[in-house]
Amino acid sequence: MGHRLGVFVSGTGRHLENFAAQIAEGRLDAEIALVLSNRSDVLALDRARRLELETCVLDPERELDAASFSERAFASAREHGCDTILLAGFLRKLVIPEHWIGRVLNIHPSLLPAFGGKGFYGSRVHRAVLERGCQFSGCTVHYVDNEYDHGPILLQRCLRIEAGETSESLAGRIFEEEQIAYPEALQLHLQRATT
């Protein structure tokens, strides 16, 4: 049996589908044991069900504080035997228990530490990059700690910003890099976990 993954989602589930494809094609020695969402109305859950993956919706009404939400989320991950958690477009503050430090990964659509932190997600990041006049951007896969977009970096991919770039075109190009970077970073993590 491969390394057991929990994938936490809040959106479309494109990363989830990418991981499932990588696993099905034998490029990742892992299995998705749990797909957890903080929203009940997201496409990611439809994708998970189509892929016949175990799903859990936790606190869609946002009644729990961050600590209580996190406690329940990680309890669910433990119950499903997860070894590693992948945040895949997950937009809810997590408090990472000590036991999970170094076992929770996230992908961010900029070259951290630039354009990271609270409020920097999705198109907000790309607009800020373009407004600043940056010549390069990219994506970063990092370990999650208890500060936004702060933990140790596993892998980055970089691209040059083109003349006439819009936040939409930049988002599309960076997402293509993310589809490569996140599985590569997970592979690095899995190699570390087995040595």
Catalytic residues: 108
Long-range CB contacts for residues 61-66, cutoff 8 Å, separation at least 24? 62/38, 66/92, 66/93, 66/94, 66/95
Bridge-based pairing state of the strands 84-88 and 3-9: parallel
How many Å apart are CA 26 and CA 15, to the nearest integer? 17
CB-CB contact of 156 with 181 (8 Å) = yes
